[in-house]
A and B are shown apart, each in its own frame.
Chain A
Amino acid sequence: MSGDEPEFIQPPNTLKNKVKYGPDGVDLDMLEKAEQIIANLQGNYLEWVQDDLAKLQGFYEKAMATPEGERAKVFKDLFGVAHDVKGQGGSFGYHLMTAIGNQLCRFLEGTQKTGAAELDVVKVHLDAMRLVIGQRMEGDGGKMGENLLRGLQAVVSKVAPK
């Protein structure tokens, strides 16, 4: 028998001792209220996201002005902002922003190149995000959103490593 027998410990559940709640957990009215309060923040989101779009534009321009061999850091910065866009859109009813942000993140983490073609992919995603916000394309954006995502996927598939 090895000396690495696991020891199981039941820690004190101090959190549970401090919370009062019914057998059904949180009631639906309370959840509805929370969802409604978040939905009310949608107007604020439309302002905040402009900062992310401006940051993406700034990093895109910086990458354009940087020699190709030295763009890795800027691509990392682009990934960071795209990751924020991905993480927030859906919380405020803009699931299409999450989908576009996610696709840009997957592309940026998968590509080894930082050339003109890769920058074009960044640009079309940025333009698509601007369109979604400008046209207030909430949810998945319906048919228009579907077409937009399909178009972006086509651009990515031409450039992304096979």
Chain B
Amino acid sequence: MSGFDGRDVKVLVIEDNQHARLLIRTVLQTLGVTTIREAKDGEDGLEVLKEFQADLVIADWKMEPMDGLVFVERIRRGADSPNPYLPIIMVTGYSEARLVIEARDAGVNEFLAKPISAKALVGRIVSVLDKPRAFVRCEAYFGPDRRRRQLPFSGGERRKPILGEG
């Protein structure tokens, strides 16, 4: 088959800007998604998730009082998290590399820079579906594997011990 049938999918959209919410909702509806809940910030999103078992969250970064990054951290590592593996696409006007890395480190599955296009948003959703990333748990991190590809490393050790170590 071709096409995309998302009628059984439940999506939570967390975005403080009502126009951006409408835009995302419109794209989701084109994909057949009908069960869409909306929240205005991270705190509101956590409240909604108490009684709405979302399969996917699309969250903005810059929101008040709780921004998208804190929301992701609460989902991944919070004691009260409804689902630490919940796929999260972060949508934001921030596109600087260091901020993308910050979002990745917080545990975001996919990152989508504004302005949003239907094509780009659908691309990220398909990416979450087609390339599910393993989760990593270690002392300093819990979240999707931050490496895009699992490639063996065949080179020599180039990292040098810091003075006083090793």
| Chain A residues engaging chain B, CB cutoff 8 angstroms | 3-16, 18-22, 24-27, 30-31, 33-35, 37-38, 41, 44-45, 48, 80, 83-84, 86-92, 95, 98, 105
Contacts and interface: CB of A to CB of B under 8 A. Distances in A.
Contacts of A45: 19
Contact of A4 (B26, B93, B139): B139
30 contacts: A4-B138, A4-B139, A7-B137, A9-B85, A10-B132, A10-B134, A11-B134, A14-B55, A15-B9, A15-B129, A16-B129, A16-B132, A18-B6, A19-B5, A19-B6, A25-B126, A27-B4, A30-B4, A30-B30, A31-B119, A31-B122, A34-B27, A34-B118, A35-B119, A38-B117, A84-B93, A88-B19, A88-B115, A91-B116, A92-B115
Interface in B106-138: 114-119, 122, 126, 128-130, 132, 134-138
Contacts of B93: 83-84, 86-87, 105
B100 interface: no
B145 interface: yes
Interface string B26-49: 110011000000000000000000
Contacts of A8: 134-136, 145
B70 interface: no
The 7 closest A-B pairs by CB, nearest first: A90-B115, A34-B118, A87-B114, A11-B85, A87-B93, A34-B30, A91-B115
B8 interface: yes
B118 A5 contact: no
Contacts of B118: 31, 34-35, 37-38
A25 B4 contact: yes
Contacts of A11: 85, 132, 134-135
Interface string B88-118: 0000110000000000000000000011111
A15 B115 contact: no
A26 B138 contact: no
B145 A26 contact: no
A128 B36 CA distance: 37
B56 interface: yes
B3 A30 contact: yes
A118 B110 CA distance: 36
